[in-house]
Amino acid sequence: MKRFKWGVLLTIFLLATTPVLAGYAPANVQSALQKLYPKVNMADVAWSQDQGYYLANFNYNQLNVRAFFNNQGQCMMAQTDLGTLDDVPSAVYNSFTMSDFASYTVRDVTLVDFPKWQPMYVILVGQPNLEGAVQLFYNPYGQLLRQRSTVGIDDILGPATFL
């Protein structure tokens, strides 16, 4: 009976002191997020892991943000869901409206920030009744850097896309 009690106590102790990976990030990663986004309420951050990175999902300035951190607490990239073309630079807007994709339906617009590269605006477009979509990657000056189909891609803007 004593073994059973000790076993139960040990199990409870381990469960109480072992962080659950879903919803968890190490202190250095959480601290790095707080430095980059000082107004974010850490209680409102949803943590997960994606392709070896800690992923913080939260709202900031009324926009959804996904920030990817490595184990050392360095932010590798952050994605802000803009939703529409309303908040892109005029050069990106003009370039898109002059492109072959201007007649397509804009499904989403995402700003992708990197600590060591220039940001990118990713415009996801599609056509009604057609499977898949096309991602258009623009620099802030309106230059189309690349385009790709999303057919067969599960995580269309994950770390493997950029890092």
In a domain, residue 130? The reply is yes
Say what the pLDDT of residue 16 is: 39
> End-to-end CA distance of the chain, in Å?
54
What CATH number does the domain containing 139 carry?
A: 3.10.450.360
Same domain? 1 vs 68: yes
Same domain? 65 vs 98: no
Instruction: List the Cα angle 140/143/144 in 5-degree steps.
Output: 115
Three-state SS for 8?
A: helix
d(CA 9, CA 128): 59
Final residue in a domain of this structure, among 63, 78, 93: 78
Backbone angles phi, psi at 80, to 5 degrees: -115, 125
Same domain? 63 vs 23: yes
Say what the pLDDT of residue 159 is: 80
Say what the pLDDT of residue 14 is: 37
Q: What is the SS3 assignment for 51-115?
A: CCEEEEEEEECCEEEEEEECCCCCEEEEEEECCCHHHCCHHHHHHHHCCCCCCCEEEEEEEEECC
Say what the pLDDT of residue 3 is: 52
- Using an 8 Å Cβ cutoff, are 145 and 137 in contact? yes
H or E element, residue 11: helix 2-17
Please list the ranges in the chain whose pLDDT falls under 50. 4-22
d(CA 71, CA 82): 28
Say what the pLDDT of residue 23 is: 64
pLDDT digits (tens, 9 = 90+) for 25-51: 999 999 999 999 999 999 999 999 988
Final residue in a domain of this structure, among 50, 78, 106: 78
Domain residue limits at 4: 1-78
